[in-house]
Amino acid sequence: MWQWFHRLGSPRWFYQASGKWLPWLAGITFVLLLIGLMWGLGFAPRDAKQGNSFRIIYIHVPASFLALAGYYVMAIAGAVGLIWKMKLADMVMKSAAPLGAALTFVALITGAIWGKPTWGTYWVWDARITSMLVLLFLYMGVMALQHSYTSVDAANRASAVLSLVGMVNIPIIYKSVDWWYTLHQPATIKFTEAPTMHPDMFHPLLVMIAGFYCFYALVLILNTRSEILHRERRSSWVKDIVLQNQR
Amino acid sequence: MGYGFVAILRRDLLLAFRNRGEIANPVIFFFIVVTLIPLGLTPEASRLAEIAPGILWVMALLASLLSVEGLFHSDYRDGTLEQLVISPQPLYLMVLAKILAHWLITGLPLTLLAPLLGMMLSLPTAGYLPLVLGLLMGTAVLSLLGAIGAGLTVALRKGGLLLSLIVMPLYMPVLIFGASAVQRSVDGFSVQGPLAVMGALLAFSLLIAPFATAGALRVSMHG
């Protein structure tokens, strides 16, 4: 019953298996993103108040979703690596950090671009924006720690410990930033969006969220595969692959 | 089982007592940086009073951060840390003892100095008690969380800046609740809420942080 779990521990098995999934996953991602973008940017109705500028949510919302989910992916992979000493989990954790940081950055930037026409300013010290910024700092800390160790094993275990500490702290940080915001709420800016979205606007968003999830999985697998090749570069099966490609 | 705890606590306090200059450093840092504020912003009492709660807390946070870097450093260099990690005593308790000693040496003096600096920044009278109570608990949380970062970076050659990068995001809740307790009291509201949350943060990090620090030290020793 646990065979699949033990098999996952072998980078070689994962490299070969994921090679078969990749074309499918890439195809699904491409189709979903294409449909979502065309539907959302081209065919969804204009927002009554915000006009066309609201359309950035089709990038902003999925990116913010995955920025947070990505931290949990990273921390859980780190925990698996710490507990079961699984090499593959370490590699997934290392690959998830820059990906999550990039998505957090995209969410912040798109939010700022959206904020200018909507509230007239690029940056507001709003609870959600501030929490996103803190999330970016947490990602950066894990990445900086990962890069500062020379030993690969120590780097993995140290950043796994840090990402677990961060995961425990994320709800606390979010709650406290929320509390801080309600205390200092500026009167000029109302962050209440339309509470219910029109289905014509909502359906493309769902497609985009699904597309971003697939995109995340795709990039994570690609990053992990290159990490596998790099770490296992001395093993014979990697040499065989390289020789095959050169022929 | 408590033997390791008591022995480490005594040793660290004794070492600190023999190097009294080092104890004074974070306190002097706190003092000097707070002195910079009126020079850079304004000497006007009403405006200073407005920003005093936040300034005092941010500066206490920085002072604590700077001092936590050295928590395991000398022990790592002379091999004591290795002996602690391989000793049969529970590492959790020994780490807790080191953190407690660190708090007694830095956090407590900062807390006791804070009212004086509050007075210099013309903090309204209502703010003193929540400032001291908040710092009493908050500096302990800062020491506990900082120890995790110190444990993770102790084996690195240039750990100092990295330590602040790692630990700062974790410090944010402490800053928020600490500063708002003082602010609320100055504004005439009840401070029970933020102080209770600060107590909860202390209880929680007391439980988790020595555990994570022990794990971090094991990584640093074997890495």
Per residue in B54-95, pLDDT (tens digit) is 999 999 999 989 889 889 988 998 989 999 888 888 899 999
A154 touches chain B (CB under 8 A): yes
SS3 category, B124: coil
Written as one string, the DSSP assignment of A183-237 is HH--SS------SS--HHHHHHHHHHHHHHHHHHHHHHHHHHHHHHHHHTTTSHH
Distance, CA of A146 to CA of B219 (rounded, Å): 13
Q: What share of chain B is helix, strand, coil (3-state, %, to 5)?
A: 85, 0, 15
Q: What is residue B220's predicted lDDT score, i.e. its pLDDT?
A: 87
Q: How far is CA A234 from CA A230, A239, A242, B176, B223, in A?
A: 9, 7, 11, 50, 21
Q: Tell me the per-residue pLDDT of B185-201, one tens digit each, with 9 for 90 and over.
A: 998 888 899 999 999 99
Q: What is residue A153's predicted lDDT score, i.e. its pLDDT?
A: 87
Q: Tell me the per-residue pLDDT of A45-64, one tens digit each, with 9 for 90 and over.
A: 877 777 788 888 899 999 99
A145 touches chain B (CB under 8 A): yes
pLDDT band at A196; cut points 50, 70, 90: low
What is the mean pLDDT of the segment spanning A130-138? 92
Whether residue A175 has pLDDT greater than 50:
yes
Choose the mutation target among B57, B145, B157, B170 for the interface with A, i.e. most A CBs under 10 Å: B170
Q: What is residue A188's predicted lDDT score, i.e. its pLDDT?
A: 46
pLDDT band at A190; cut points 50, 70, 90: very low
Q: Tell me the per-residue pLDDT of B100-154, one tens digit each, with 9 for 90 and over.
A: 999 999 999 999 999 999 999 989 999 999 999 999 999 999 999 999 999 999 9
Asked whether the beta carbons of A161 and B215 are under 8 A apart, the reply is: yes
Total number of domains in chain B:
1
Q: Cβ of B188: how many Cβ atoms within 10 Å?
A: 8
Choose the mutation target among B72, B91, B158, B166 for the interface with A, i.e. most A CBs under 10 Å: B166
Q: What is residue A195's predicted lDDT score, i.e. its pLDDT?
A: 46
Taking the model in full, what pTM does it have? 0.89
Whether residue A187 has pLDDT greater than 60:
no
Residues of A with Cβ-Cβ distance to B204 under 8 angstroms: 172
Tokens 């090499």 -> residue: A87
B176: nearest CA partner in chain A: A180
What is the mean pLDDT of the segment spanning A17-43? 91
Tokens 């309600």 -> residue: A182
Name the least confident of A98-102, A137-141, A222-226, A228-232. Answer: A228-232
What is the mean pLDDT of the segment spanning A144-171? 90
Type of residue found at B119: M
Q: What share of chain A is helix, strand, coil (3-state, %, to 5)?
A: 85, 0, 15
Q: Tell me the per-residue pLDDT of B15-50, one tens digit each, with 9 for 90 and over.
A: 988 988 878 888 899 899 888 988 988 888 888 888
A185 touches chain B (CB under 8 A): no
Distance of CA A163 to the CA centre of its chain: 14
pLDDT band at A128; cut points 50, 70, 90: confident
Q: Which residues pair with A47 in a beta bridge?
A: A51
State which residues form the domain around B173.
3-222
Q: What is residue A129's predicted lDDT score, i.e. its pLDDT?
A: 85
The pair of three-digit structure tokens given for residue A242, joined into one six-digit string: 């390289």
- Say what angle helices B160-186 and B45-68 make with each other, to 10 degrees: 150
Please report, for chain A, the start and end positions of each structural domain, with discontinuous segments joined by +: 23-44+55-190+205-234
- Say what angle helices B3-18 and B91-102 make with each other, to 10 degrees: 30
- Say what angle helices A199-231 and A57-84 make with each other, to 10 degrees: 40
Written as one string, the DSSP assignment of A81-123 is HHHH--HHHHHHHHHHHHHHHHHHHHHHHHHHHHHHHHHS-S-
Q: What is residue B181's predicted lDDT score, i.e. its pLDDT?
A: 92
Q: Cβ of A240: how many Cβ atoms within 10 Å?
A: 10
Residues of A with Cβ-Cβ distance to B223 under 8 angstroms: 149, 151, 153-155, 157-158
**CA count, 13 A, side-chain hemisphere, A39:** 18
The pair of three-digit structure tokens given for residue A6, joined into one six-digit string: 């033990």
Query: What is the average pLDDT score of chain A?
Result: 86
CB contact under 8 A, A172 and B201: yes
Whether residue B10 has pLDDT greater than 60:
yes
